[in-house]
Amino acid sequence: LAKTTQPISMDSYEGQEVNITCSHNNIATNDYITWYQQFPSQGPRFIIQGYKTKVTNEVASLFIPADRKSSTLSLPRVSLSDTAVYYCLVGEGGSNYKLTFGKGTLLTVNP
Amino acid sequence: KAGVTQTPRYLIKTRGQQVTLSCSPISGHRSVSWYQQTPGQGLQFLFEYFSETQRNKGNFPGRFSGRQFSNSRSEMNVSTLELGDSALYLCASSLGGVYTEAFFGQGTRLTVV
């Protein structure tokens, strides 16, 4: 069972780049890494998903080193509206895979 | 297009009762998964249904069950409610299953008293 570890909280300022790292030492070969964002009283929202190296979309980048034991979500030029909880999700492969969410990182963006 | 709809939004039940929560996925999505969110345990996966079949299940007791209908709508049932079942229950739908982008509903806040 791949367990994930994220920082509990992070602080940043508007306009800065924010990097949130997730550790998943026991990631399996078939696992993908997915990041979600959640605001209070709302369901999580998909940000980005990757398997290895680097993935970029219009809102974020995901960096995964060769050993895949960690991943880093990069948010460029954050704004106040990016204040939210960010979850790292590792999906285990196999016929009976289980989804493992991290505890989440509360990112607070200050003016 | 319409998003994922969960009903009801809020619910108060008494210990020992049972409860049924409903989830209507995005049109065309065949996968529906359920999650429990609590302050102490965070987001935990309950189960996933795909084309009316349970395809994946998390580590929850048998009191938690679900089903999916032919129109992909899903229901989750919790029997013999315990105080610890108080949580936000989230439903998510996707095209191909839990590895693809999942769209979450706003959840049902269940309080057991």
Q: Tens digit of pLDDT for each residue in A37-78? A: 999 888 999 999 999 999 999 999 999 999 999 999 999 999
Of A43, A98, A103, the CB nearest to B58: A98
| Residue A106 contacts B where some CB pair is shorter than 8 Å | no
pLDDT for residue A95 is more than 50: no
pLDDT (0 to 100) of residue A27: 86
Of B90, B98, B101, the CB nearest to A99: B98
pLDDT (0 to 100) of residue A93: 47
pLDDT for residue A97 is more than 90: no
pLDDT (0 to 100) of residue B98: 60
pLDDT for residue A98 is more than 90: no
| Residue A87 contacts B where some CB pair is shorter than 8 Å | yes
DSSP conformation class of B26: P
In terms of Cβ atoms closer than 10 Å to its own Cβ (0-12, 13-18, 19+), residue A109 is buried
pLDDT (0 to 100) of residue A59: 94
Average pLDDT of chain A is 89
Nearest CA in chain A to B54: A96
Average pLDDT of chain B is 92
pLDDT (0 to 100) of residue A55: 94
Tell me what percent of the residues of chain B surpass a pLDDT of 90.
Answer: 74
Of B56, B58, B101, the CB nearest to A46: B101
Alpha-carbon gap: A110 to the closest alpha carbon of chain B (Å): 24
Would you state the structure tokens that stand for residue A5, as one six-digit string? Answer: 């570890």
Nearest CA in chain B to A95: B56
For B33-85, what is each residue's pLDDT tens digit? 999 999 888 888 899 999 999 988 889 999 999 999 999 999 999 999 999 99
pLDDT (0 to 100) of residue A77: 94
* Chain A residues 2-61 with CB within 8 Å of chain B: 32, 34, 41-46, 49
DSSP, collapsed to helix, strand or coil, labels residue A80 as: helix
Nearest CA in chain B to A94: B56
Count the Cβ atoms, other than its own, within 10 Å of residue A45.
Answer: 16
Nearest CA in chain A to B100: A49
